[in-house]
């Protein structure tokens, strides 16, 4: 099977132009086929504020009513996505900017209302890995914004970590896939206040211990849940690392490697 690297870059790097440039330069040096999934950072919140649209967050997740959906579509699928694509072109990476709606690549359903109504938020139902494989065969590097679509023709805001995991799992039917989550930390930390306390290898038992102790908490938990789910469903390797170290993490080893 061909090797494929699926990389998700976190929002805090998107917010910092210098950090984003360093990441994209490192990303461009990774050999072979690769896919990039990006978040939107605080830019959507800033644009919404300028437009007089209120931002509501619950447990770190954005409530996406119709006005906010318009904003995240413009920002994630437009501004952020095309800026990344343009920078990659300058780095000799022939990137193609996509949302899940483009070529029907990522189908979702609107999240059912339980305790909280998240609005126009999508839970992924299906990834068309054959279509994504077609782009890769054309020597294109897909760059996905975290927007999906429904069979009713709706656009839906979708968690970028989840989107990266879903794409990696489905692409594992065709490729030997390494999934990488990049952000502003050096990896999963044993002490959240010590950037050098990187846990170099993490398995489910050790993960449970750190959660119980509280050293792994908040936003890292859903990221790791997605990562272990990917390992359980065919992805060969999952790495969590600093955005500046993405190339070395893939090629030599850096950050935290997850094992079953």
Is 62 marked as a binding-site residue?
yes
User: Is 40 known as a binding-site position?
Assistant: yes
Query: Distances from the Cα of 257 to the Cαs of 23, 75, 166, 201, 239, in angstroms?
Result: 19, 32, 19, 5, 5
**Euclidean distance between CA atoms 36 and 222, whole angstroms:** 19
- The annotation status of 219 as a binding-site residue, yes or no, is no
Q: Please tell me the distance from the alpha carbon of residue 135 to that of residue 138, in angstroms, as a whole number.
A: 5
Mapped onto helix, strand or coil, the DSSP state of residue 34 is strand
- Give the containing element (helix H, strand E) for 33: strand 33-38
- Rounded-to-integer distance, Cα 166 and Cα 148, Å: 12
For 46, how many CA atoms within 13 A lie in the half-sphere containing its CB?
Answer: 8
Residue 76 has which token pair? 């994630």
Half-sphere exposure of residue 143: CA atoms within 13 angstroms, side-chain side: 26
Please report which helix (H) or strand (E) contains residue 81, including its range.
helix 81-90
Q: What are phi and psi of 150, to 5 degrees?
A: -115, 170
Q: What are phi and psi of 95, to 5 degrees?
A: -90, 150
Residue list, annotated binding site for substrate:
40-41, 62, 157
Residue list, annotated binding site:
40-41, 62, 157
């Amino acid at each position: 099977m061909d090797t494929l690297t699926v990389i998700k870059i976190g929002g805090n790097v998107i917010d910092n132009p210098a950090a984003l440039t360093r990441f994209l330069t490192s990303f461009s040096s990774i050999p072979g086929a690769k896919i990039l999934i990006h978040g939107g950072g605080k830019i959507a919140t800033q644009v919404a504020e300028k437009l007089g649209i209120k931002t509501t967050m619950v447990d770190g997740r954005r409530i996406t009513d119709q006005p906010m959906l318009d904003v995240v579509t413009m920002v994630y699928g437009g501004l952020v996505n095309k800026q990344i694509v343009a920078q990659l072109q300058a780095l000799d990476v022939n990137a193609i900017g996509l949302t899940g709606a483009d070529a029907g690549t990522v189908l979702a359903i609107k999240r059912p209302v339980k305790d909280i109504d998240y609005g126009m938020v999508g839970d992924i139902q299906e990834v068309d890995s054959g279509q994504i494989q077609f782009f890769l065969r054309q020597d294109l590097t897909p760059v996905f914004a975290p927007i999906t679509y429904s069979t009713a023709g709706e656009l839906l805001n979708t968690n970028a970590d989840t989107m990266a995991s879903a794409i990696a799992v489905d692409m594992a039917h065709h490729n030997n896939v390494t999934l990488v989550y990049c952000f502003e930390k050096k990896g999963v930390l044993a002490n959240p206040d010590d950037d050098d306390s990187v846990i170099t290898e993490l398995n489910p038992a050790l993960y449970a211990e750190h959660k119980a102790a509280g050293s792994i908490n908040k936003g890292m938990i859903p990221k790791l849940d997605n990562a272990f789910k990917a390992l359980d469903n065919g992805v060969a390797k999952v790495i969590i690392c600093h955005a500046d170290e993405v190339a070395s993490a893939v090629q030599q080893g850096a950050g935290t490697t997850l094992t079953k």
